[in-house]
């Protein structure tokens, strides 16, 4: 009978239910969007690292993130390849560059040069081919940056650091977390455009031979290359995330927004649930007089809270998915993952249960003797 009583109490006052659900839906959408943005930010910050697929990264000492490049000394490659347990060492050249638009004006960009024959970077090419990057000063850009880079199609020309480049490939959906567009090219072209030495690179991507122990190779490399840091993929990923999300405060702002959403949700649900409990106080007093235990009445209120949470969650998720779908046409990346959806269920139910506590305190003080004074 508890679910039925809770359901009837909840739906008895439709206006109150609408207010409760509005609060929960608002909270779910706010938290979903904020955490979705957070996950989207993580995705963008780590995209290069995740697609490069290296077991170990050799990075200049003090590197804060992938997008904070400087150059290694240039002597690392042979040292790495001579290390037992290493299968391959790929160079990656990353540097800030000035992109001059064909019709005037310029913007900063992050140039990424890699061994394109390996096919790791870039990815998701929608026009042109990876092989086309090997053509003289061929570059790949993402189509979402066309307007910012002042180009409109494949084969358009521009200048990088005063050298002419041709857009020979176009990607879809590779956006940086910062405002700088990524410009992909070959190692050789990148070195030319960045005026770097032929041996210089920003990062070395190390793949281990099958059966090699990661920690052992990492330790040996660290001993061999004292002016570098040897980071596992996960460590470099976490370092990049920590830098952009927490040292810059961007992630903290998103999490603060999500917490605000939860607080607003709790306050609205608590207020309406408390009002609903007050409206039904005589019924709860009657139940108490009929011998209901305090636990029984608490369960009715908690069931009301859980029912509100489930309905509010379903509505909130529908609205969140609409918002996420709508955001695809913008520069925002909002992700909804199964884990986030599950976390939102737990969070919504927890929020509503927490909100029910005020109502439970109110009911706990009911004197069943009031049934005789009505």
Partner 1 sequence: MTQDFSPILEAKGIVKTLGAGAAQVQALKGVNFDLMPGELTLLMGPSGSGKTTLLSILGCILTPTDGSVQIAGRSTEGLNAEGMADLRRRHVGFVFQAYNLVPTLTAIENVMLALDLRGVSLSDAPDLAAEALEAVGLSHRADASPSKMSGGAKQRVAIARALAGSPSVILADEPTAALDAQNGMAVMELLAEVAKDTGRGVLAVTHDHRTLEYADRIIRIEDGRIVGRARRRDGEMTEAPSVSWGTAAPAEVRHASVIA
* All residues at 6 or more sequence positions from 48 whose CB lies less than 8 Å from its CB, including other chains: 66, 112, 121, 182
Closest separation in Å from C-beta 348 to partner 1: 24
Residue closer to partner 1, measured from CB, 301 or 334 = 301
* Interface with partner 1 (CB under 8 A), residue from 84, 103, 226, 372: 372
Q: Confirm or reject binding of residue 369 to partner 1 (CB under 8 A).
A: yes
Neighbours of 313 (CB within 10 A): 25
Closest separation in Å from C-beta 275 to partner 1: 16
Report the SS3 class of residue 169: strand
Are the CB atoms for 169 and 129 separated by under 8 Å? Answer: yes
Tell me phi and psi for residue 182, to 5 degrees.
Answer: -85, 140
CA distance 319 to 25: 8
Closest separation in Å from C-beta 40 to partner 1: 44
Residue closer to partner 1, measured from CB, 26 or 296 = 296
- The binding track of 139-178 with respect to partner 1, each residue x by CB under 8 A or -, is ----------------------------------------
Q: Which stretch binds partner 1 (CB under 8 A): 139-147, 169-177, 227-235, 366-374?
A: 366-374
CA distance 339 to 341: 5
Residue closer to partner 1, measured from CB, 230 or 287 = 287
Q: Site size for partner 1, by CB under 8 A? A: 24
Nearest to 315 by CA among 25, 5, 6, 9: 25
Residue closer to partner 1, measured from CB, 7 or 246 = 7
Closest separation in Å from C-beta 292 to partner 1: 5
User: How many CA within 13 A on the CB side of residue 33?
Assistant: 20
Residue closer to partner 1, measured from CB, 89 or 366 = 366
Residue closer to partner 1, measured from CB, 12 or 328 = 12
Residue closer to partner 1, measured from CB, 81 or 290 = 290
Q: Confirm or reject binding of residue 338 to partner 1 (CB under 8 A).
A: no
Closest separation in Å from C-beta 283 to partner 1: 5
* All residues at 6 or more sequence positions from 121 whose CB lies less than 8 Å from its CB, including other chains: 48, 51, 52, 92, 112, 114, 184
- The binding track of 6-45 with respect to partner 1, each residue x by CB under 8 A or -, is --xx--x---------------------------------
Among positions 219-238, residues that touch partner 1 (CB under 8 A) are none
List the alpha helices (DSSP H) in 53-117: 76-81
CA distance 353 to 293: 19
Closest separation in Å from C-beta 14 to partner 1: 12
Are the CB atoms for 267 and 352 separated by under 8 Å? Answer: no
Residue closer to partner 1, measured from CB, 311 or 371 = 371
Residue closer to partner 1, measured from CB, 4 or 129 = 4
Nearest to 357 by CA among 274, 260, 295, 265: 274
Closest separation in Å from C-beta 302 to partner 1: 16
Q: What string of DSSP letters covers 215-266?
A: HHHHHHHHHH-TTEEEEEHHHHHHHHHIIIIIISSHHHHHHHHHHHHHHHHH
Among positions 271-330, residues that touch partner 1 (CB under 8 A) are 282-283, 286-294, 296
CA distance 269 to 263: 10
Binding site for partner 1 (CB under 8 A): 1-2, 4-5, 8-9, 12, 282-283, 286-294, 296, 368-369, 371-372, 374
């Amino acid at each position: 009978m508890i679910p039925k009583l809770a359901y009837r109490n909840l739906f008895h006052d439709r206006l109150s239910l609408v207010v409760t659900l509005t609060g929960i839906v608002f909270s779910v959408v706010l938290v979903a969007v904020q955490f979705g943005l957070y996950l989207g930010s993580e995705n963008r910050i780590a995209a290069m690292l995740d697609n490069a697929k290296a077991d170990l990264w050799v990075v200049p000492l003090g590197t804060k993130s992938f997008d904070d490049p400087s150059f290694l000394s240039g002597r690392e490659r042979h040292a790495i390849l001579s290390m037992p347990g290493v299968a391959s060492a790929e160079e990656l050249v990353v540097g800030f560059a000035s992109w001059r638009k064909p019709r005037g004006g310029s913007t900063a960009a992050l140039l990424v040069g890699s061994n394109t024959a390996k096919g790791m970077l870039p990815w998701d090419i929608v026009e042109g081919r990876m092989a086309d990057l090997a053509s003289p000063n061929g570059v790949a850009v993402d189509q979402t940056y066309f307007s910012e880079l002042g180009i409109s199609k494949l084969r358009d020309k521009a200048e990088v650091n005063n050298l002419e480049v041709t857009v020979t490939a176009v990607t879809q959906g590779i956006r940086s977390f910062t405002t700088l567009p990524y410009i992909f090219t070959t190692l050789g072209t990148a070195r030319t455009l960045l005026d770097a030495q032929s041996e210089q690179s920003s990062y070395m991507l190390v793949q281990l031979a099958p059966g090699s122990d990661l920690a052992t190779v990492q330790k040996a490399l660290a001993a061999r290359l004292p002016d570098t840091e040897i980071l596992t993929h996960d460590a470099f990923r976490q370092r990049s995330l920590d830098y952009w999300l927490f040292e810059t405060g961007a992630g903290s702002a998103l999490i603060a927004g999500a917490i605000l959403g939860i607080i607003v949700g709790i306050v609205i649900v608590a207020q309406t649930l408390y009002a609903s409990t007050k409206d039904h106080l005589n019924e709860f007093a009657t139940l108490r007089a009929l011998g209901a235990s305090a636990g029984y009445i608490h369960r009715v209120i908690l069931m009301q809270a859980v029912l509100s949470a489930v309905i509010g969650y379903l509505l909130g998720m529908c609205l969140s998915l609409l918002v996420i779908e709508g955001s695809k046409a913008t520069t925002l990346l909002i992700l909804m993952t199964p884990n986030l959806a599950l976390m939102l269920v737990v969070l919504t139910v927890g929020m509503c249960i927490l909100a029910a506590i005020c109502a439970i305190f109110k009911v706990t003080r009911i004197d069943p003797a009031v049934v005789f004074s009505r």
